[in-house]
Structure 1
Amino acid sequence: MQRLNALFRPVERYADAVSPKTHGIVAVVSLCSFIGVIVLGFVPVTRQIEMSGYSTSDLQDATSRAEVDTILQALEPVMDHVMLLSVLDYIFILAGFFLFFSLHSIILNTLDSHDRLVLIPKIGMILTISSRLFDSLENLWVILIYTNPEDYATVLISLMNASETVKWTLVRVEYPMLGLAIVLVLLIRFTSLFDGHSEHLR
């Protein structure tokens, strides 16, 4: 139990560092950045890359050196766009981190008096840290591969595949966890409103 508390302590400190209003502002700014990177960055840049016949996701899904080399050769004419996409990916990761952390911080403050329910946003924040870490690592392995196409270490392919697998496994739990936390907050707010209205009628 002490180890669990020690694990949650940093996220609790983050949640308590500023007011829920400030977390709300950070969430809005992060959401705008999150959507902006997708619409103004990922979509047009990915279209340019896909003109080569491949995409960066094809590279991330490749499991052998032969597959990777074939994709790298095809991507060579659009390598500037591939590099730009990697930069945008890190901005996307950062925006997603602050968006999820700020939302969970607001939820954490709302559920603070509920000993068991408060574990949900805390676990959600740990999942966010973990998924963003593996997303960053996956991006790093990809960068190390395409910046040294002639002599990259084959082990980078395995590291890339493993990071991608772990990332998506975490994300599949992370998003529903945030959704569940939001639903709980809405239910608690609605119940409080209903109770307050009932007291007023009495």
Structure 2
Amino acid sequence: MRGEISIFRPVEAYAEAGSSRTHGVVAIISFCVFVGTIVFGFVPVTREIETSGYSTADLQEATTRTDVDAILQAFEPVMDSVVLLSVLDYLFIIAGFFLFFSLHSLVMKRLSFDDRLVLVPKLGMVLTVCSRLLDSLENLWVILIYSNPDSYPTALISLMNTTQSAKWLVVTIEYPTLGLAIVLVLLVRFTSLFDGKTPRI
């Protein structure tokens, strides 16, 4: 288990740094920020941006300089909203990081009695780091593009597209992993009620 321990040591340290109550409080606060950013931030700001005829998703999916330039030109009247959306995106990334890490930490504490089951939340935390890092980079490329519309390097378009594809690939694994981790905790809890055993926390 030496190799496995060294790989997951940072996420183990995070989980062990706080009690279950602490991680629960962090998860609740992060969830409120996470959802609040979507409902009160992303939704109205995105609607404002879409009055230009495009969305930031269109920019992130554009593959040629001609398409990107056309979108940037359309964004000019709503550029303040585009900038605000980038700021909200980083808030969303941070909230998502703490939400997923705290939820996985709670799962780790409840599955600590089994070295194999506990690998699921550990893997989930690693995936969260990867997805949030990729999301941050994608947002950075977008900022560098719209902040210098006349002379941004064309290579940024490829970086933006590649990072976005990689991010969604990781996310398609990250969310099911969190779901599996929660299901495992529920199953352990359910079975313990019938066999009279309480998992070590």
TM-score (norm 2): 0.96
Give the structure 1 partner of residue 146 of structure 2: 146
Matched, 1:130 2:106: no
Query: Partner of 1:42 in structure 2?
Result: 42
Aligned to 1:73: 73
How far residue 7 of structure 1 moved from its aligned partner, in angstroms, is 1.6
User: In structure 2, what residue type is equivalent to 1:25?
Assistant: V
What residue in structure 1 maps to residue 55 of structure 2? 55
CA deviations over 1:15-36 (Å, ceiling 9, x no partner):
0001011000000000000010
Confirm whether residue 106 of structure 1 aligns to residue 110 of structure 2.
no
What is residue 183 of structure 2 aligned with on the other side?
A: 183
Deviation at 1:159, TM superposition (A): 0.5
Matched, 1:95 2:72: no
Cα offsets for 1:54-106 (capped at 9, x unmatched): 00000000001011000000011100000000000000000000000000000
Per the alignment, in what secondary structure is the counterpart of residue 169 of structure 1? helix
- How far the C-alpha of 1:192 sits from its partner, in A, is 0.8
Following the alignment from structure 1 to structure 2, what is the Cα–Cα distance between the partners of residues 142 and 191? Answer: 48
Query: C-alpha separation between the residues in 1 aligned to 2:7 and 2:145?
Result: 34
- 1: CA distance, partners of 2:43 / 2:2: 45
Structure 2 partner of 1:4: 4
TM-superposed CA distance for 1:196, in Å, is: 2.0
Q: What is the distance in 2 between the residues matched to 1:52 and 1:2?
A: 55
Q: Which amino acid aligns with 1:172?
A: T
> Which residue in 2 is equivalent to 1:200?
none
**Paired residue type of 2:7:** L
Q: Runs (4+) of structure 1 moved beyond 3 Å?
A: 1-4
- In 2, the alpha carbon distance for the partners of 1:146 and 1:9 equals 39
1:4 Cα deviation after fit: 3.3
Per-residue deviation, 1:118: 0.6
What percentage of aligned pairs have identical amino acids?
68
Question: Unmatched 5+ residue regions in structure 2?
Answer: none
Deviation at 1:3, TM superposition (A): 3.9
2:196 is paired with a residue whose SS is helix
Contiguous gaps of at least 5 residues in structure 1? 198-202
For the aligned residues, what is the CA RMSD? 1.0
Separation in 1 of the partners of 2:193 and 2:132?
A: 36
d(CA) in 2 for partners of 1:5, 1:159? 33
